[in-house]
Amino acid sequence: MKKTSSFFFCLFVVFHGLGQFSENLLTDQIEDPRIVRIADANQDGTNDIFIGAIPGQVYFTYGIGEGGTYADPSLLFSYPPCCTAPFDIELNDLDADGDLDVLVSYADDGTFGLFRLYMQEGDSGIYEAGSNLGNWEEGNFVLFDFNGDGLKDFGRGSIWNTDLRVRLNQGDGSFSSFVTLADNSFNGFKYDFLDFDLDGDTDILTIGAGRLASIQQPEVWDEIWPTTVLFTDLGNFGDFEILDVDEDGDKDLVIANKTAGALQWAENTDGLFTLSPLMTIQDGMTGLSEVELGDVDADGLPDILISLFSESKLSWFKNIDGSSEFGSEVVISDSEDGIGRLVVGDLDNDGDSDILTYSSTTDLVKYWINETILSTPEFENSLAIYPNPSSELLTINSKQEFKQYRIYSILGQLVRGDSFSEQIDISQLRKGIYFLELTTSMGQKHIGRFIKL
């Protein structure tokens, strides 16, 4: 998109096209890639890419400029002493110094759940030699602030064990001993976090062993968290995402049901996460392996992206106006042999959702740039948003009469909304790209983009 040098500019655009993607080969030189991650490691405003591979290696490449260009990945570190499979890689500020650190789980000699922590030196992209955290008995894990102290703690997702346990972050790169929070006999391996009972704290949703369960936070965080099974017979290693499908202000559930071979969703019927029976978006999807959210067509609504391992396919479904309806499957590619996990993020800084994929069969790591076309509408001369980028306030100058506003993340998640004001405080938002939706009293919606510094 052409840049402007004026003091402020109108950021509102009309989006055309249906999310067309261009295929790009990142590398075919990494043997047996197993994990991909997107994060702005050096905090230059452009996302970078991390790749975990067998035997025990993590590769890294910086995003170059704003055009979706990446250098050849280079070896960032290997886990001594020449370990085998990486199970998981997560990036977060684990020592409260403002940069992104790397926590890796791996296996060695048949021992699962060995952990190493790699601390970044400032925003340099240079990581210190990894410190050995020992055998934590698990490969899959989550980073989340369980006790509300502002630090990301370690949560163990137990495929082989029967409880959910956490280690508290001490703020210096070290962690406490394990604290047991919940019975996890359903072997949950994926977690998401939301306040589904609207009591002001964060609860957990998890899937494993064919079951989806909610884990509710008690008044005292380190007491046992009660677990409720919501759905069964979903197939092993299913997947789910949480989004407001019907735009009624609460979070619904989208799920990859491997037993039924179907992409399905359930409505949050009361705002407290009491779910309706599962409703099918599309069936006949044998091998459905991954579901992710992203605003593919840049309309401010979260669309659904999926990968199908057995069909070597990558596809997406359009969210139709938040009406609880989705469009027909749009195939991005049907020749992705051995496609593994897909990751969604903005890889070219244009405000829409791009895709990162890997194949452990062909050793290909690819990224797919969303080529959605943008054009300026007729009302551009009657509306201005400034300053953009901004760190504190957005000022709206318009002849239109707006009733309310909503702010969405780059993944289409609602992060803020209120009645319309000519000045909107964005100081508490994290740095990044957001969509602003303005609605008139007649229900007309105008969607645009801004950058939070």
Write down the pLDDT at residue 5. 30
For residue 226, which phi and psi values (nearest 5 degrees)? -65, 140
Task: Give, for 132, the enclosing helix (H) or strand (E).
Answer: strand 131-135
Write down the pLDDT at residue 18. 44
* Count of CB atoms situated within 10 Å of the CB of 31: 11
SS3 content of the chain, % helix, strand, coil (to 5): 0, 50, 50
Write down the pLDDT at residue 280. 94
C-alpha closest to that of 109 among 76, 80, 141 = 80
| Tens-digit pLDDT string for the chain (453 aa) | 333 332 233 333 333 334 578 889 999 999 888 889 998 888 888 889 999 888 778 888 888 766 678 989 998 877 655 456 677 888 888 888 888 888 888 776 666 667 778 888 766 667 776 777 777 666 678 888 888 898 999 887 554 455 778 889 998 888 998 888 886 555 667 788 888 878 888 888 888 778 888 888 888 888 888 888 899 888 776 789 998 888 888 889 999 998 888 999 999 999 888 999 999 999 998 878 889 998 888 777 889 999 988 888 899 998 887 778 898 898 998 888 878 778 999 898 877 789 999 988 899 999 998 876 443 344 444 567 778 788 899 988 877 788 889 888 766 677 888 999 999 999 988 887 888 888 887 777 777 778 888
Write down the pLDDT at residue 414. 78
The identity of residue 159, as a single letter, is I
Q: How far apart are CA 113 and CA 97, in angstroms?
A: 26
Gyration radius of the chain over CA positions: 22
- Strand spans (E) along 359-392: 365-370, 373-375, 383-386
The answer to whether the CB of 294 falls within 8 A of the CB of 303 is: yes
Q: How far apart are CA 263 and CA 253, in angstroms?
A: 11
* Sheet arrangement for strand 423-425: 383-386, 393-398, 423-425
Token pair of 228 as six digits = 């409720």
User: Could you give the 3-state DSSP secondary structure of residue 414?
Assistant: strand
Average pLDDT, the chain: 80
Query: What sign results for the dihedral spanned by CA atoms 120, 105, 366, 287?
Result: negative
The β-bridge partners of 292 are: 305
14, burial (CB in 10 Å: exposed 0-12, middle 13-18, buried 19+):
middle
Token pair of 9 as six digits = 């500019």
Report the 3 state secondary structure along 319-336: ECCCCCCECCCEEEECCC
Answer yes or no: pTM beyond 0.95: no
* Count of CB atoms situated within 10 Å of the CB of 229: 10
Q: Which DSSP symbol is given to 283?
A: -
Between the alpha carbon of residue 269 and those of residues 117, 246, 266, 275, the distances in Å are 42, 11, 9, 6
Q: How far apart are CA 248 and CA 242, in angstroms?
A: 14
The answer to whether the CB of 169 falls within 8 A of the CB of 154 is: yes
Write down the pLDDT at residue 1. 33
Q: Are strands 288-294 and 303-308 parallel, antiparallel or unpaired?
A: antiparallel
